[in-house]
Amino acid sequence: MAVQQSAGPDPYFPANGDPRYRVHRYELTLDYRPGPNRLGGAARINAIAGRAPLTEFHLNLADFRIGRVRVDGRQAHYTHRGGRLRIRPAKPVRPGAAFTVEVHWSGNPRPVNSPWGGLGWEELGDGALVASQPVGAPSWYPCNDRPADKASYLISVTTPSAYSVVTGGRLLTRTTKASTTTWVYEQAAPTSSYLVGLAIGRYQTVLLGDPGPGGVPQHAHIPAHLLADVSRDFARQPAMMELFQELFGPYPFDEYAVVVTEEDLDVPVEAQGLSLFGANHVDGARGSERLVAHELAHQWFGNSVSVADWRHIWLNEGLAKYAEWLWSERSGGRPARQPAAAAHRLLSSLPQDLRLADPGRKAMFDDRLYERGGLAVHALRRALGDDVFFRMLRGWTSLHRGGAVTTQTFAAHVARFAPEPVEELFDAWVYGTALPPLPEG
């Protein structure tokens, strides 16, 4: 595993994350009441200081009431303004030393503001949903909110027993006392803060296919009235899982879950070991199947292998977009060259001022980044040939499993597999802005 963290703040979100330390593990204990939308929480955060003494540091946390802050068991001085919980330990933390932070908070969670509207905790008509990409995680728990700072999670959520709680990872226990139930999940794999998803609602759980010996358990958590449609729309997800493991390497987590909410979502959203879909993505006719493939592919590209900072988001979205085309090609649909040609025609009619390698904050979710990213991957496939291309992808997911990477890391990795130099290809597709010709073949 190679972890390449940025030396300083994320250039797109300099207020999020603190590069002076890294978190090893979060242990979150939450109590949520859907009616009043009331959240109480306690976090135990195990972290490691960087190369300099930590006289102060910060966590990102939205506007909650803070009950207690301790560092290594001792009360710490803190201020909490503008989404930053600044903490000054009673005694500075030595360089490279492990330390523990405890934070207690409570209040009414709501989305945090962003250029794309509210992100993070969303109160639904009957329950709640968390989709945090890229900076919504502080809407519900204190975190070092930078994608390269990946940690394991133990999450305990207590809520009224009529509700199910779903998050990524393995369900350890479910304990009912009186009218409430406590759900405890473990996510052992390194996880970026924005990839900790959560759904609380009245869901029915179904198994999506029989994983068999050594297979990946896949469950769907859905409103009961959508069972028939979801069963058709996600029927081919187990086959996707098999194909993507063949093409990309072993599935990087223990389990995979999908949640379909009662409400519409603009787009599905990936979390680690979990994808969140709206009721509008279910039609009983597999109308959103490409999105099912896209979100599943993110488990390899974006979740297991994460970006070191948000400048490199095309590595997530371009590879997931290409996975849509690969699924189409391998499942009896259009070969990848056809959606690639359609993407090229679309891009040729749009402004050509987007650079994949550093699109800028305003354009990091631009449709052009997805389409051009998919085309860049298609150009690599044509240049390398199928055998080398898929060996390259499997090597990428294996070498960087659980880590964080950059565009430069990817270019160097591709070069080690390529029979011919690929600098010009990367210059044209990734570092340039003008649209290159459609790759042949």
DSSP secondary structure string, 274-329? EEEE-GGG--SS-TTHHHHHHHHHTTTBTTTBEESSGGGTHHHHHHHHHHHHHHHH
Q: Give the CA distances from residue 249 to residues 45, 211, 271, 426, in Å, rounded to whole numbers and listed in that order.
A: 32, 17, 19, 24
Show the tokens assigned to 4.
């390449």
Report the C-alpha gap between 137 and 180 in whole angstroms.
25
Asked whether the beta carbons of 296 and 387 are under 8 A apart, the reply is no
Show the tokens assigned to 110.
């709501």
Asked whether the beta carbons of 92 and 64 are under 8 A apart, the reply is no
Report the C-alpha gap between 54 and 88 in whole angstroms.
8
Is 294 within any annotated ligand binding site? yes
Is 413 within any annotated ligand binding site? no
Asked whether the beta carbons of 194 and 151 are under 8 A apart, the reply is no
Show the tokens assigned to 427.
């210059």
Active site residue 27: no
Active site residue 185: no
Q: Give the CA distances from residue 277 to residues 177, 221, 259, in Å, rounded to whole numbers and listed in that order.
A: 31, 10, 6
Which of 102, 295, 324, 371 is catalytic? The answer is 295
Asked whether the beta carbons of 182 and 172 are under 8 A apart, the reply is no
Is 317 within any annotated ligand binding site? yes
Q: Give the CA distances from residue 302 to residues 308, 309, 319, in Å, rounded to whole numbers and listed in that order.
A: 10, 11, 9
Which of 153, 194, 251, 370 is catalytic? The answer is 370
Asked whether the beta carbons of 198 and 274 are under 8 A apart, the reply is no
Which positions make up the binding site? 294, 298, 317
- Active-site residues, by number, are 295, 370
Annotated binding site for Zn(2+): 294, 298, 317
